Structure 1
Amino acid sequence: MTSARKSISINTTRQLWTQCGGFCQNPSCNKPLFREVEGSSVSIANVAHIIGHGGSGPRSDHELAEHIDRDGLANLIMLCLECHKVVDELESRFSVEKMQAWKKAHAGKIVSLFSIPDIRDERELLIEVNDLLEENAALFRECGPYSENVLGGSGGDGLIIWKKRCLDTILPNNQKIIELIDRNKRNFKYPWELYRRMLEYKIHADAFQDNCLTDQKINDYKLFPRSFDYYVKIQLGIDSENPQVAEKQELEFRYNTVQTFIERFLNTHSAIQSLQELNRGTMLVSLCDGRKLKVFVTNTYFFTNYTLERVLEVDPAVDAIICASPAGKYTEEAKKQCIDMNVGLFMLGEFMGAINYSGNRYLNYLTRYDREKRKDDLRQLTRGAAPPSGTRVFVFGSFMRRKHYNDIDILIVYQEPADSSGLELFRSNIERMIRNRFGNSDLTIASEREFSTLSFDHDNLLQLYP
């Protein structure tokens, strides 16, 4: 009897990140799960199964194998790419009990770092919380996605600095704020108003962590609740601007940055004939090929299906939406919904490339950077999946042509006579690794003789290995 695979939930991933603190949980490694490569942050984090799937997975012969949820939190550990490969290939040296002990000891170290004090004076606790909020706010003003450091820069260094500050300061501060209030809640009269307001803040902190640490995005992403910061300051007697006033001022500020993007990039674009501002968020873009696009420009930090509904309430006739925040993102679900509605959803750089094309190539435009990133990531995964000698691996199809894809088409070509066991192990490894990183894959295995007879609808066959 084998256990069926299922996707690991966002909530489980959050708990794993909380336990690991951003470091490999192998005690002889403990390396950071983000590596800096030529100024860019690269994730080397891997969610590893202590007891693997199926009857032949790593440690799958353990007595607990038939009694646990193999995709549950208790059976998962966060490792770097190298350690994941080592513990699975040398499974006899890394027992279930040893890996469980790693995880427990590591989680204990992370908890101890916070050293949450027992506080019975509410003002003292509020001061602790406010100091952490102030540090986060200062970093957001100086390094955040709407700071002059990001908006005024052209080399991308501002965004790199912002991501570093998120990882080394803002995320730990968020966690400490939550722990300070949660662990001391029994010290104050029930119901405790600060605890209730913290729960709203926690929704934002969880979503922000997802945005920083994983590729799993959620549609109910909650922005920073200004009312939480306002409440803390009012209780301490600190003058603070009403949240509604502050949000209005911030919207005005963000609107001005949209104008900056338009003047700096779009006015001189070779594919644009003219630009006409229709209102504070919408413009009419006349292209040199005769098309006219009604474009809604938003500086929303995180664009979701919910955001799309709000945009369409303002103007249901838009042809394109630009997410102009340089640190912003949109969800895959929002992108897919826009494509289905024949509406283009782009980051600014994507829009500048997409308008050179029409139809599906316009809606599904994939930047050269994204294409190269996908190729490099697949190459890394392929090398790490132990391909047998003489094997060639190719990728083709929509993954290399389109922003939104259904699956990843992989072709494995082997030399005869085939190393059946090595080929099956490689197929299993690469399928698992691609699913964990990108989603579903469609694998085809062919001999060199069979490969010579194959034809493809699109000429985008790319060799990944060797």
Structure 2
Amino acid sequence: MQTIPPTLRGSGRPSRQTLDTAIRTEQLTPMTITRKSIPLNIARQLWAQCGGFCQNPSCNKPLFREVAEESVSLANVAHIIGHGSSGPRSDHELAEHIDRDGIPNLIMLCLECHKVVDELDKRFTVEEMQSWKAAHSGKIASLFSVPRIKDERALLTEVNDLLEENAALFRECGPYSESVLGGLGGDGLKVWKRRCLDTILPNNQRIIALIEGNKRNFPYPWDVYPKMLEYKIHVDAFQDNCLTDQKINDYKLFPRSFDYFVKTRLGIDSPPPQVVAQEELEFRYNTVKKFVEEILSDHSAITNLQELNRGTMLVELRDGRKLKVFVTNTYYFTDYTLERVLEVDPAVNAIICSSPAGQYSDSAKELCIERGIGLFMLGEFMGAIHQSGDQYLNFLLRADRERRMKELKQLSRQAVPPPRTRVFAFGSFIRRKHYQDVDLMIVYEEPADAVKLKEFEPELDRLIRKRVGEPDISVASVREFNALRFKYDNLSQVYP
């Protein structure tokens, strides 16, 4: 355990020293568990192998579950032979001869099956789990068997049909559709997410498989193939953004030149990519203007709005501040996007991502904070302008704070805390949009069950490290906790 200093100031965390006192004569020792994130190229291959379903043949449940209108990921990457000398199945004869983080040793399971196979590792052998994976991957591959096509027109017709289906879905429920922009992030966004998972991603993979699988049927060099490779860069990035938490920073947008190439090859009239791009820019400008006029103009903290040019406006606040604000409906705002904005106008000191389907990267947010630039989604900006300084730059919506607290409560419960144990969160994680780590305090009543408490802390550490971020956990008795003095009352109880 760790010593709790007599005074905690601000949002800083307690020091991590050894607590001299023991519980029931047993010393509790902290355990550090480190888990490496799965590289994107490995995650892609695992997703391709599992097809979005648990690879346990007695389960096979979808790895995305819909609850009402929400989609929740149940996907867990499990090690067949676990890490370390005490990991699940780590005593297998292959343990010292394989790359334990390599694809052959990884299997995609749902959360429930992952827990079962690891806790009951003696009942689920290495050979059995390897057979699960091989059989499941074979079934998925058979579903996407590629027909042998020697007629280019027939092949491109099938490709065009898939592109048309994707385009129709993008127009009707995509990030710039009326259902999303008009609903300001309601049900339209949930529908779009579902369509990405159940239709657009499979269509993308089918297009690539059709061209890749038939490239030997046409004279070399076949100009369709390099066009497809440009499209594949977009497909990989889009899949990563949909299926993993590892967002692509320089996100490759849909290459309109590929769609134009396919259609012109088939003799279908299609506007050039440059014309479509210009029409889209005009549409985005009009939606931004509508957003400014209908939403920001009536904000209680704003006294005056002045449009300086397309996408940039001067916002005067009641407290006397003047903000030069750039408004964008960029689908994913990244470091690269920030640099492009500042090239146009380095004096911008606030950026609003107005598309309800859009978002910004963590690294872009961090860069903006370092430069004193506010980067916000619409709801964040409307709350942030009531604040100043770091509270303005790091404004955290109440809903985001409550979501973080709820997740910590769920993880605390999942780690099975001993009776009469409480868990508190404090510091930047529950106060700031951008945080460095997750500060927690475990408070126990004496006398305590030393064994269960000793098990609880590392398990909570493991779960938080896997799901939320770097944990910094302190442990104190009720007596020690009551003796603490806070300069700011910044503790919030998350469990029970």
TM-score bracket, normalised by the shorter chain, equals over 0.9
Match of 1:142 in 2: 172
- Counterpart check, 1:442 vs 2:472: yes
- The farther-off stretch of 99-108 and 379-388 is 379-388
Trace 1:356-435 onto structure 2 (pairs within 5 A): 356-435=386-465
- The farther-off stretch of 68-77 and 190-199 is 68-77
Change (3 A) 1:314 1:159: same
Change (3 A) 1:317 1:3: closer
Match of 1:336 in 2: 366
Q: 2: distance between equivalents of 1:50 and 1:405?
A: 33
- Counterpart check, 1:320 vs 2:350: yes
- Counterpart check, 1:211 vs 2:202: no
- Counterpart check, 1:21 vs 2:51: yes
Change (3 A) 1:423 1:197: farther
Match of 2:159 in 1: 129
- The farther-off stretch of 25-34 and 158-167 is 25-34
> Which secondary structure state, in structure 2, belongs to the residue aligned with residue 184 of structure 1?
helix
Match of 1:236 in 2: 266
Q: 1: distance between equivalents of 2:176 and 2:186?
A: 13
> Which secondary structure state, in structure 2, belongs to the residue aligned with residue 104 of structure 1?
helix
For structure 2, the 5+ residue unaligned runs are: 1-31
2:62 to 27, 32, 37: 32
Q: Please give the per-residue CA displacement for 1:163-186, whole angstroms capped at 9, x wherever unaligned.
A: 111111001111111111112222
Q: Please give the per-residue CA displacement for 1:227-282, whole angstroms capped at 9, x wherever unaligned.
A: 11111111111111111111111011011110121122101100111100000110
Do the aligned residues in 2 keep the contact of 1:5 with 1:71 (CA within 8 Å)? Answer: no
Q: 2: distance between equivalents of 1:85 and 1:342?
A: 44
Q: 1: distance between equivalents of 2:357 and 2:384?
A: 19
Match of 1:64 in 2: 94
Trace 1:306-317 onto structure 2 (pairs within 5 A): 306-317=336-347
Deviation at 1:10, TM superposition (A): 1.7
Normalising to structure 2: TM-score of the pair?
A: 0.89
Do the aligned residues in 2 keep the contact of 1:397 with 1:458 (CA within 8 Å)? Answer: no
Aligned residues: 465
AA in 2 matched with 1:465: Y
Do the aligned residues in 2 keep the contact of 1:285 with 1:292 (CA within 8 Å)? Answer: yes
- Counterpart check, 1:80 vs 2:110: yes
Deviation at 1:211, TM superposition (A): 1.6
Change (3 A) 1:4 1:273: closer
Q: 1: distance between equivalents of 2:288 and 2:236?
A: 28
Q: CA RMSD in A?
A: 2.0
AA in 1 matched with 2:267: G
Match of 1:100 in 2: 130
Q: 2: distance between equivalents of 1:395 and 1:109?
A: 45
> Which secondary structure state, in structure 1, belongs to the residue aligned with residue 375 of structure 2?
strand
- Counterpart check, 1:10 vs 2:40: yes
Larger gyration radius, structure 1 or structure 2: 2
Q: 1: distance between equivalents of 2:461 and 2:279?
A: 49
Match of 1:166 in 2: 196
Deviation at 1:375, TM superposition (A): 1.6
Q: What fraction of aligned residue pairs are identical, expressed as a percent?
A: 73
Q: 1: distance between equivalents of 2:469 and 2:98?
A: 24
Change (3 A) 1:3 1:360: closer
Do the aligned residues in 2 keep the contact of 1:277 with 1:284 (CA within 8 Å)? Answer: yes
Change (3 A) 1:45 1:272: same
- Counterpart check, 1:226 vs 2:256: yes
Deviation at 1:422, TM superposition (A): 3.5
Do the aligned residues in 2 keep the contact of 1:4 with 1:53 (CA within 8 Å)? Answer: no
The higher relative CO (CA closer than 8 Å, separation ≥ 6) is in 2
> Which secondary structure state, in structure 2, belongs to the residue aligned with residue 151 of structure 1?
helix
Change (3 A) 1:96 1:458: farther
- Counterpart check, 1:187 vs 2:217: yes
AA in 2 matched with 1:404: H
Q: 2: distance between equivalents of 1:350 and 1:396?
A: 21
- The farther-off stretch of 438-447 and 140-149 is 438-447
Q: Please give the per-residue CA displacement for 1:52-89, whole angstroms capped at 9, x wherever unaligned.
A: 22222222222222233322222222222222222222
For structure 1, the 5+ residue unaligned runs are: none
Deviation at 1:432, TM superposition (A): 2.5
Deviation at 1:342, TM superposition (A): 0.4
Q: 1: distance between equivalents of 2:177 and 2:62?
A: 27
